[in-house]
Structure 1
Amino acid sequence: MNWKVIYNEAYYKKAVKRAMEIFHAEPNTPEDDELGVLLLLIKDYEDKHYPLPQVDVLALIKDKMQEQGLKNKDLEPIIGSKGYVSSILSGRREITLSMAKKLKQFFNLPADVFMQV
């Protein structure tokens, strides 16, 4: 089948169904080529119609702290003084790029969590 840009839910479902049917296609076959096109079209449609929710970075950091049994003072080596940590966690100050890098490594978070607009 010659696939086109997906504009509606019915065509999207048809594309997803076909992608599932040929998901294990052998490399370098017509089905493999079709699967590649389908996956691009499906991703494009999903990006436009099913956006991922924005992550609240501060809530995520607080959740990670709770999971690991950490206190605000445990973030002082990463963020700075007690007051600065408090200001960051309360939302009165922004997380800097340097802090984001350190927090990313400390909590093993994906970098894109800190790149939201």
Structure 2
Amino acid sequence: MNIRPIRTQDDYRAAMREISIFFDDEPEPNTPEGERFEILLTLAQAYETKNFPIDPPDPVEAIRFRMEQAGLTVKDLEPMIGRSNRVYEILNRKRPLTLPMIRKLHDRLGIPAESLIRPLSDARTS
């Protein structure tokens, strides 16, 4: 089964070429091909995590994403944030989230707490 660690960009490209073949015809689990596919995916994921980390979004981006994803309106956020003017202040980055808001957004909408506690970025969204 001659599989090596992925240490360089060339190793990664070679692994991705081999993985892409399996995507067209995914092998059965618990077969030699299935195990090779699973090992290559694990190695590629480890390399990507180490070399291409993705930071969680800032709180406003996370809230807007969940709103879009679930079809939520400002009114839907009022039980977690407060009156609509407070929701707009949060969404327009005029006011930071409080700890109770963070807890409610996390508990009720499933937004990762690590995203909600990040500092607001300077990016302005409309």
TM-score normalized with structure 1 length: 0.67
1:37 aligned onto 2:36: no
Q: What amino acid does structure 1 have at the position aligned with 2:36?
A: E
C-alpha distance in structure 1 between counterparts of 2:47 and 2:6, whole Å: 6
Identity level (%): 29
Out of 51, 56, 59, which is 1:57 matched to? 59
Matched-pair contact (CA < 8 Å) for 2:62–2:111: no
Rounded to whole Å, the distance in 1 between the matches of 2:72 and 2:34 is 47
Task: Summarize the Cα distance change of 1:41–1:26 in structure 2 as closer, same or farther, 3 Å threshold.
Answer: same
Q: 1:88 to 1:100 in 2, by over 3 A?
A: farther
Residue equivalent to 2:102: 96
SS in 2 for 1:48: helix
Is 2:7–2:47's contact at 8 Å kept on the other side of the alignment? Answer: yes
Moved more, 89-98 or 24-33: 89-98
In 2, distance between residues paired with 1:48 and 1:10?
15
- Structure 1 gaps of 5+ residues are 105-109
Kindly report which structure 2 residues correspond to 1:71-110, keeping only aligned pairs within 5 A, or say none: 71=74, 74-81=76-83, 85=87, 88-89=90-91, 90-94=94-98, 95-102=101-108, 104=109
Question: Greater relative contact order: 1 or 2 (C-alpha under 8 angstroms, separation 6 or more)?
Answer: 2
Q: Does 1:13 align with 2:17?
A: no
Give the aligned residue type for 1:50.
F
Query: CA offset at residue 19 of structure 1?
Result: 1.5
Equivalenced residue count is 108
Cα root mean square deviation, aligned: 3.0
